[in-house]
């Protein structure tokens, strides 16, 4: 019976089952949608996939798009941005500001241009820093942070707070200043 179904599907599509399955996979269909398109059960489709040694992706394009759309539609917060009403997540992404920063501002009641103002330097996530400090300067910065606090010291010295935290914990890689 199964061979009869296989022959019927191959005849209907005019290609061997391996080529048919690869075509459906490239269209971005998930296994359930592919089985419905072929008119067979999902178990039959799974046997054919195994027989043809095909690696079907776990998350298809269709699945990813649906998931993203569902997340956007379920967003609790919608804002007026560039003349359109859109989810807060999309607006933050367009502005290049981390979503958690914009969400915190929104919850504090900030709206309009204040909501999407740039992130302050000392709040940026850690990365690669090029700060022209000598080891003595770092020692002084750490002492200042000890006295007045890391956040205030970072603001006063105009360096990222995470760099100062790394320096205080002894984890900051330092290189000697270039001789010119």
Model pLDDT for residues 66-77, shown as the tens digit of each residue:
666 666 655 678
pLDDT class of 25 with cuts at 50, 70, 90: confident
DSSP 75-106: -S-EEEETTEEEEHHHHHHHHT--HHHHHHHH
Question: Residue 176 above 50 pLDDT?
Answer: no
CATH 1.10.3300 fits 1-74, yes or no: no
Separation CA 171–CA 130 (nearest Å): 15
Instruction: Check pLDDT > 70 for residue 132.
Output: yes
Contact 121, 158 (CB under 8 A): yes
Q: What percent of the chain has pLDDT over 70?
A: 79
Give the model's pLDDT for residue 99.
84
Cα distances (angstroms) measured from residue 168 to each of 54, 139, 161: 53, 9, 11
Provide the pLDDT for residue 14.
87
Whole-number pLDDT of residue 148: 92
pLDDT of residue 168: 82
What are the tens digits of pLDDT across the range 30-79? 888 888 888 888 888 888 888 888 887 776 566 666 666 666 655 678 88
- Averaged confidence pLDDT in the chain: 80
Mean pLDDT of 118-132: 68
* Residue 178: band (very low, low, confident or very high) from pLDDT cuts 50, 70, 90: very low
**pLDDT category of residue 147 using cuts at 50, 70 and 90:** very high
pLDDT of residue 49: 86
- Check: pTM over 0.85? Answer yes or no: no
Per-residue model confidence (pLDDT) at position 125: 60
- Mean pLDDT, rounded, for 150-170: 86
- Cα(175)–Cα(178) distance, rounded to whole angstroms? 9
Which residue matches tokens 């002894």? 170
């Amino acid at each position: 019976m199964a061979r009869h179904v296989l022959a019927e599907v191959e005849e209907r599509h005019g290609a061997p089952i391996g080529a048919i399955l690869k075509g459906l996979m490239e269209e971005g269909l998930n296994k359930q949608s592919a089985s419905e398109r072929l008119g067979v059960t999902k178990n039959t489709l799974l046997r054919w996939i195994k027989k043809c040694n095909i690696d079907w992706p776990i998350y298809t394009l269709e699945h990813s798009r649906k998931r993203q759309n569902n997340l956007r539609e379920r967003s609790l917060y919608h804002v007026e941005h560039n003349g359109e009403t859109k989810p807060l997540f999309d607006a933050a992404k367009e502005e290049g500001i981390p979503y958690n920063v914009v969400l915190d501002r929104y919850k504090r009641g900030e709206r309009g241009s204040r909501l999407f103002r740039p992130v302050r330097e000392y709040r940026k996530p850690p990365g690669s820093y090029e700060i022209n400090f000598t080891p003595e300067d770092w020692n002084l910065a750490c002492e200042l942070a000890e006295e007045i606090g890391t956040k205030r010291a970072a603001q006063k010295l105009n360096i990222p707070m995470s760099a100062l935290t790394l320096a205080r914990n002894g984890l900051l890689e330092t290189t000697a200043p270039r001789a010119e």
